[in-house]
Amino acid sequence: MNLPITVTQNDLLEILLNVALVRPVFIWGAPGIGKSALVEQFSKEIGMPCVSLLGSQLAPEDIIGIPQIQNDVSTFLPPKMIARKEPYVLFLDELNACSQEVQKAFYSLIHERRIGEYHLPEGSVVIGAGNRTQDSAIVKTMSSALINRMFHVQLKADTKQWLKWANNSGIHAWVIDYLTQRPDHLFSEPPKTEEPYSTPRSWHMLSDALTEYGAGKREISQEILRVLTYGTISPSHASMFLAYTKQLKNTHLLDDIIAQKAKWPSKPEERDILYFLAQSFRAKLLRELPENKQSTGGNILSFVYRVKTMIKELATINFEIAQMVVSANGDEVLPDWFMVEIIRDLPRLVNQSAEKRYHA
């Protein structure tokens, strides 16, 4: 399932606080995007314990229990972890990864909050979660009967909200600073090949590894850093993160270049740093330039004038990297009015970019 509307972490928490208390909710989203963490946070918010079941590892008897003879009749005894006396949050993770038989066992649990003769304590909450088909994860078709028994919502990664959480959760300073400069690198769609890719969870793993190695407090070899980054996040993001670590002695280099206190790195051995700075420069333009020229004030116009000079300076060092700054890249396109400014002042630089833009 791929819903046409997605919600952020804060939105989802509010939805759970309002909807999950009266109806079962199913959370769709890519692996590592933070579904489980949000359910745990929700449980804390309402003051209930959270019991998690992993659908991909369940058999029907793990839900309905095993039969026992009592007074010449058979009765099913539900598992101890489910059969509780006090209300709780039952989290059915990877629900759409379990077999059809297990899904059937969930029907009455989700719809009527009961298993056989056992009823969940009054006030208990049932939440399911699973990956989408396009996530290259283990998923099975969910029956229409089960789909119709739940309220569905799709989670997306929101960098601002994640960074706010990260600042209060001990995430490594390098990860926070990098994603502040490159918020578009927090999440990438699962690749078709078997390789690590960037998600909130994988950045958290990289943070843990950096912390354990004492990064920032003692010297770590570039080889070790390569192992840590390429082992947790997308290869393209890993190369950019490594370039970021190389210029840590001057973490505000891009701001200094904009303020004319420094220049673009021009040495051949600094090419990866130059590429990282140019990527960060492009991300800054996408983030800060207004969509309409009418919205530009004096500060923006001064910034635009400085930007054009910087692009021209960058082009003298590496023409391809300068072209990358202004080129269209999927849905990430610089405002039309800004491109007109660039075309007017730097026609050769944007010639190829303009052709791609207007033939797309």
If you write DSSP's letter for every residue of 48-110 in order, what string do you get?
Answer: --EEEEEGGG--HHHHH-EEEEETTEEEEE--TTT--SS--EEEEETGGGS-HHHHHHHHHHH
Would you place residue 351 in the very low, low, confident or very high pLDDT band (cuts 50, 70, 90)? low
Q: In the chain, where are the structural domains located?
A: 6-156, 158-246, 252-360
Mean pLDDT of 62-66: 68
6-156: CATH number: 3.40.50.300
Place of tokens 């952020």: 8
As given in the structure block, the two tokens for residue 337 are: 């009015």
Q: How far is CA 175 from CA 259, 303, 343, in A?
A: 25, 27, 36
The alpha carbon of residue 129 and the mean position of all alpha carbons in its chain are separated, in whole angstroms, by: 16
**Higher pLDDT among residues 217 and 210, named by residue:** 210
As given in the structure block, the two tokens for residue 217 are: 């407090």
Mean pLDDT of 201-225: 93
**Higher pLDDT among residues 42 and 190, named by residue:** 42
Would you place residue 280 in the very low, low, confident or very high pLDDT band (cuts 50, 70, 90)? confident
**Higher pLDDT among residues 206 and 32, named by residue:** 206
CA angle 232, 282, 301 (to 5 degrees): 150
Other beta carbons within 10 Å of 196: 19
Whether the pLDDT of residue 62 is over 60: the answer is yes
What torsion do the CA atoms of 99, 104, 105, 107 make, to the nearest 10 degrees? Answer: 130
Would you place residue 358 in the very low, low, confident or very high pLDDT band (cuts 50, 70, 90)? very low
What torsion do the CA atoms of 201, 202, 207, 211 make, to the nearest 10 degrees? Answer: 110
Contact 190, 177 (CB under 8 A): no
**What is the pairing mode between strands 25-28 and 73-77?**
unpaired
Phi, psi dihedral angles at 327 (to 5 degrees): -70, 150
Whether the pLDDT of residue 294 is over 80: the answer is no
Whether the pLDDT of residue 355 is over 60: the answer is no
Q: Mean pLDDT check: name the lowest of 15-29, 66-80, 311-325.
A: 66-80
Amino acid 314 reads L
Which residues face 175 on adjacent strands?
Answer: none
Question: If we measure between CA atoms, which residue out of 346, 325, 233, 331 comes closest to residue 283?
Answer: 325
Q: What is residue 252's DSSP assignment?
A: T
Which of 161-165, 339-343, 350-354 has the highest mean predicted lDDT (pLDDT)? 161-165
